[in-house]
Amino acid sequence: MARFEELRGKRVMVTGAASGIGLATAQRFAKEGAKVFLLDNNAAALDGAMKENSQFASSAVCDVSKESDVMAAFEKMDRELGGIDVLVSNAGISIRSDFVDITLAQWKKVMDINLDGMFLCAREAARRMKDRKDGVILMTASSNGTEGHRWYTDYNASKAGVILLTKSMALELAPNVRVNCVCPGYVLTPMQRAEYTDEMLAQTNEGIPMKRHAEPEEIAALFAFLASDDAKYITGADIRIDGGETAGLYS
């Protein structure tokens, strides 16, 4: 059921869209009546998402860390949909490691996807939106980008970069283009499932005031709101959606 009528017909690109938060976000925008263009580096997963969701407009296999891939994907969207109204730049990876065990290759891989990929997609969207004097750019950061966390130093640093990228872009692109990022806490995604055992998930939940992980659809709902006219005075914001995890010491 659509809640934001103004999203009907909007041309929306979602990156990292074949699973998890990205897929849930693509599905939510499609339910709002938007024309959704999916990007993902996993060709098989992307093909599956397209086959299972006939409401999606189109897609492109894309490594967001490669400038040529990103430019080609935006050009395909230009040809097929006539441009872009909303970008949800979501693609990202995390690798659980002790800080002293992080190799330079791992550091660069995380930064290439999580920060360089955000920059490349946001830049291409911004160029188009600035010319039209209209648009919304949304990015997936993380509560990990707002404070220190063990075992994810490279991921944390990349997400902190996304937050400042958001704020700087918002200043430059106002008043016509809004830029915000969402900072999820723990979300029950395939990526989280791959890294955490059931026991680790249960232990983590005990440290969250809401006593559970978020569902991907809850993050998708926030993206839809931020793209809507109800959020037309929100820009430059990093919005936490973490069940109260970072609100303070919980006991």
**Which of the residues are catalytic?**
155
Identify whether the C-beta of residue 212 lies closer than 8 Å to the C-beta of residue 153: no
Distance CA 77, CA 54 (A): 17
Closest among 38, 40, 16 to 29, alpha carbons compared: 38
Distance CA 155, CA 23 (A): 21
Distance CA 158, CA 142 (A): 9
Identify whether the C-beta of residue 235 lies closer than 8 Å to the C-beta of residue 180: yes
Half-sphere exposure of 232 (CA within 13 A, CB side): 8
Give strand pairing partners of 12: 36, 86
Angle between helices 153-173 and 104-111 (to 10 degrees): 30
Q: Is 170 helix (H, G, I), strand (E, B) or coil?
A: helix
DSSP 147: S
Identify whether the C-beta of residue 50 lies closer than 8 Å to the C-beta of residue 38: yes
User: From residue 54, how far is each of 33, 42, 249 by CA, in Å?
Assistant: 13, 19, 45
Closest among 55, 68, 57 to 13, alpha carbons compared: 57
